[in-house]
Structure 1
Amino acid sequence: MTVIRQPGVVSTDHVLQVPLDHADPPGEQIELYAREVVAAGRERDELPWLLFLQGGPGGKAGRPLGRDGWLDRALDDYRVLLLDQRGTGRSTPANRQTLPTRGGAAEQARYLAHFRADSIVRDAEAVRRQLLGKDGRWSLLGQSFGGFCTLSYLSLAPEGLREAFVTGGLAGLGTSAEDVYRSAYPRVERKNRAHYERCPQDVAAVRRIAEHLRAAPARLPDGGLLTAEAFQALGLLLGTGTGSQTLQYLLEEAWVRGVSGFELSDTFLAGAQGQLSFAGNPLYAVLHESIYGQRTVDTSGTRWAAQRVRAEFPAFDVDLALAGDDPVLLTGEMIYPWMFDTDPALRPLKEAAELLAERGDWPDLYDPARLAVNEVPVTAAVYHDDMYVDTADSLETARAVRGVRTWVTNEWEHDGLRVSGGAVLDRLIRMARGEV
């Protein structure tokens, strides 16, 4: 067992084996990694545990550098467990390098079908029993997709929880992938309009780059292809607190004069790659739409819902915008099938992703009847006009789950937990204690 000391914190590694398929406990096992973090000097204190479930899907837990961000506030009261969800980080990885060892696309898709929220919850329960014992209970903090997992936890194993905090992650209990994107595109358009109002010079800057890429897609440093549509995907930034500024600064350095005239700069291409590449979290792309798959909601499969629904919103058609005077709109948290052609990290996984998109018999992730009689206290931050998670869905879910108290705020964007210096988590903790 590895113990590491950093400024203000002591962390301990935990590794255990869990079934790939929890319905088959003796079957194939995979490795699960979690990092226990406690305030320095409190290693032997009897502190309550707080499990953190990261956003995603496909996101590993953060790597603390000390008492930083929300963790600083959490360590005042808790012993924190940062779980690398299955397939991510130091848990058994699932990516272009490892998945082909499973066999062909069909075998890969069957394997990946075990990487959704229901499996993550059962993994967490295995960890809880090992660390806290059968009857121990812990608190849960779920950010974004981690909030989706929290709803699954409350549906599948609420006996393991003493309380739950959710930040930007109250999913629609009966919302299909089509529903998600049909409501998302208008929110993304509003974020675009707000950015262009703040940075009017970016209207021309984005058009110029889109025109250039429509005529000649650019090669990224990793060999990926930056097409006009791939460039539009930089709109993912606009849902975060400083994303608009990050985009502005990236666009400022887009051009350099070379021997043949103006061309996209290496600085810009490297920056775009840093935002667009899925090399570090391929499961985000491969599994993204499947996190909405539930057989009682939609049996037809997600079938690249973001791509299909996009046709209903011509304002995002780059060619229409370039043919007229409208600004080129950037997209948001959408995964498109062409990404598996342009991104080297995704190309080997294209066939498996297609099979997952066609699957229509996904097990349900939520139990509305059980949630209606929930006894676990839940406090949730709902970000007004959150670009990634529909506010109306979140509030409807809050009404459907017994014991949920919401804090609706426009002070923060979707990344409020990460950037608020602990203020968002502090508010939820104080709400749970009846202090606000």
Structure 2
Amino acid sequence: MSTPPLVSYRHGGLVCTDHTLDVPLDHRTPGSGTLGLFAREVVAEGREHEDLPRLLWLQGGPGGRAERPNAAGAWLRRALEGHRVVLMDQRGTGRSAPVDRRTLARFGSDHAAAAGHLGHFRADSIVRDAELLRRHLQGDRPWSVLGQSFGGFATLTYLSLAPEGLSQAYITGGLPTLTGHADDVYRAAYARTLAHNERYFARYPGDQALAAAVAAHLDAHDVRMPTGERLTVRRFQTLGITFGTSAKFDSLHYLLETAFTDGAAGPELTDTFLRGVEATVSFAERPLYAALHEPIYAQGARATDWSAHRIREEFPAFDAAPGTPLRFTGEMVYPWQFEEDPALVPLRGAAGILAARTDWPALYDLDRLAANEVPVVAAVYHDDMYVDREHSLATADAVRGLRTWVSRDHAHDGVRADGAVLDRLLAMARGDI
């Protein structure tokens, strides 16, 4: 397939150029087919003809497309002061061969084939895609990478598989456990999520009774969201995923205040409330996140086996039992969501096969990381709800030369919320800090 002509446009002081190329579905198997990879290169207007170094942005997720220039976080303007920024849609997202119930429909009832396909959308494949993109854009010259959240996980895989492609690595809220099982990840995550519940209800004590009233109403009534799907108590509880970022921590409060209205037969949940809930709990825009959220931790012969679902039994505070305070869950994916969310129902069979898989390739090369020569700096957020601080610091100790900054002042979205986060990492890389 020939490479299409470049498309460039300007807006808001930015010059954007779109790039596309074909990459193998399975980088280890020639002839496995190809996927279309999309990336958008952004440079500050007036500097488009300068030979600026490129910085690859690796988005969080899994299953999240790269930020668009008109809605990017605070980090982008800071990065553009000295770089061309490459916003690559990771495979399966955005304009890079998106994966959803429609594109997977070609597998029909062959859930094993669909699961095999989804197995090629983890960090190892993303890194190999990035290497092809780097060579496409600049030949053998290395570039730097900024990995946020899951993008940081992928950066550790990059340092394991292709460190020669990197001149510098910046990581924010994304130092994963290198050897831990998904059970270890979720056991720590449940404890942190409970702590964030306590912070939330300390800020909004009146919401405890209101959340309980919503749960009781859902338990007693067949409540349908605007899309027609039922809102259950356990699905309502997943709204706690908003507790992990500074931008959304308060959003549940302002959603709950719209919850009830006086209906013809008594109190009813408002359309405003139900629409807001649906927008948060639906996986329609990011089904790959649900399908791969546990497999991103899988290595070797041990299955994930619906880890978050199993480990939840160790934390009865989330049981939503009558007469006990309701607690919201966080960044966990459960098998029942593949029954209740229409966007996930067609992926149910494949997700079950992925949960049982026992032949996952390694994502990290411990020896290579121990001998790392690429300069790496990382922001670790002290109270990060999504990525465990102790796991992150243990990983930092395992990567030669990796320097950390532990911040108590930022949540998981710190690099998006405050340009000073990237500014500090750049200063650390220069040796100024």
The alignment's TM-score, normalised by the length of structure 1, stands at 0.96
Looking at structure 1, the residues matched to 70 and 62 of structure 2 have their Cα atoms a distance apart, in angstroms, of 23
Give how far 1:211 is off. Answer: 1.0
Question: Partner of 1:48 in structure 2?
Answer: 53
Question: Partner of 1:225 in structure 2?
Answer: 230
Contact 1:155 1:366 in 2 (8 A): yes
- The reply on whether 1:301 has 2:303 as its aligned counterpart is yes
Looking at structure 1, the residues matched to 58 and 261 of structure 2 have their Cα atoms a distance apart, in angstroms, of 42
Which amino acid in structure 1 is aligned with residue 122 of structure 2? R
Give how far 1:214 is off. Answer: 1.6
1:431 to 408, 428, 431: 428
Looking at structure 2, the residues matched to 335 and 67 of structure 1 have their Cα atoms a distance apart, in angstroms, of 26
2:394 to 383, 396, 399: 396
- The reply on whether 1:193 has 2:198 as its aligned counterpart is yes
Percent of residue pairs identical: 57
Looking at structure 1, the residues matched to 81 and 151 of structure 2 have their Cα atoms a distance apart, in angstroms, of 22
Looking at structure 2, the residues matched to 406 and 158 of structure 1 have their Cα atoms a distance apart, in angstroms, of 19
Looking at structure 1, the residues matched to 425 and 369 of structure 2 have their Cα atoms a distance apart, in angstroms, of 20
Looking at structure 2, the residues matched to 169 and 69 of structure 1 have their Cα atoms a distance apart, in angstroms, of 18
**Structure 1, residues 289-312: CA drift from partner, whole Å, max 9, x if none?**
0000000xxx23111100000001
Question: Partner of 1:349 in structure 2?
Answer: 347
Unpaired segments ≥5 residues, structure 2: 1-5
- Range 178-187 or range 238-247, more displaced: 238-247
Which amino acid in structure 2 is aligned with residue 35 of structure 1? R
Give how far 1:387 is off. Answer: 0.5
Looking at structure 2, the residues matched to 45 and 67 of structure 1 have their Cα atoms a distance apart, in angstroms, of 23
Give how far 1:68 is off. Answer: 5.8
Instruction: Find the residue that maps to 2:69 and give its secondary structure.
Output: coil
Number of corresponding residues: 427
- The reply on whether 1:311 has 2:308 as its aligned counterpart is no
Give how far 1:66 is off. Answer: 7.8
Question: Partner of 1:102 in structure 2?
Answer: 107
Looking at structure 2, the residues matched to 67 and 291 of structure 1 have their Cα atoms a distance apart, in angstroms, of 25
1:116 to 114, 117, 122: 122
Looking at structure 2, the residues matched to 59 and 245 of structure 1 have their Cα atoms a distance apart, in angstroms, of 22
Question: Partner of 1:213 in structure 2?
Answer: 218
Written as runs of structure 1 = structure 2, the 5 A alignment for 1:377-388 is 377-388=375-386
- Range 151-160 or range 244-253, more displaced: 244-253
Looking at structure 2, the residues matched to 67 and 20 of structure 1 have their Cα atoms a distance apart, in angstroms, of 28
Give how far 1:67 is off. Answer: 8.0
Contact 1:381 1:407 in 2 (8 A): yes
Give how far 1:225 is off. Answer: 2.2
Written as runs of structure 1 = structure 2, the 5 A alignment for 1:73-84 is 73-84=78-89
Which amino acid in structure 2 is aligned with residue 123 of structure 1? D
Looking at structure 1, the residues matched to 331 and 411 of structure 2 have their Cα atoms a distance apart, in angstroms, of 14
- The reply on whether 1:363 has 2:361 as its aligned counterpart is yes
Looking at structure 2, the residues matched to 363 and 315 of structure 1 have their Cα atoms a distance apart, in angstroms, of 35
- The reply on whether 1:240 has 2:245 as its aligned counterpart is yes
Which amino acid in structure 1 is aligned with residue 123 of structure 2? A
**Structure 1, residues 196-224: CA drift from partner, whole Å, max 9, x if none?**
11100011011111111122242111222
Question: Partner of 2:265 in structure 1?
Answer: 260
Contact 1:151 1:366 in 2 (8 A): yes
Shift >2 Å, 4+ stretches: none
Looking at structure 2, the residues matched to 14 and 428 of structure 1 have their Cα atoms a distance apart, in angstroms, of 28
- The reply on whether 1:290 has 2:295 as its aligned counterpart is yes
Give how far 1:240 is off. Answer: 0.7
Which amino acid in structure 2 is aligned with residue 42 of structure 1? R
Which amino acid in structure 2 is aligned with residue 428 of structure 1? L
Instruction: Find the residue that maps to 2:236 and give its secondary structure.
Output: helix
Contact 1:6 1:66 in 2 (8 A): no
Looking at structure 1, the residues matched to 48 and 191 of structure 2 have their Cα atoms a distance apart, in angstroms, of 48
Give how far 1:402 is off. Answer: 0.5
Question: Partner of 2:7 in structure 1?
Answer: 2
Contact 1:7 1:67 in 2 (8 A): no
**Structure 1, residues 122-147: CA drift from partner, whole Å, max 9, x if none?**
000000011010x2100000000000
Looking at structure 2, the residues matched to 338 and 313 of structure 1 have their Cα atoms a distance apart, in angstroms, of 18
Which amino acid in structure 2 is aligned with residue 118 of structure 1? D
Looking at structure 1, the residues matched to 71 and 221 of structure 2 have their Cα atoms a distance apart, in angstroms, of 45
The alignment's TM-score, normalised by the length of structure 2, stands at 0.97
- Range 301-310 or range 64-73, more displaced: 64-73
Give how far 1:361 is off. Answer: 1.1
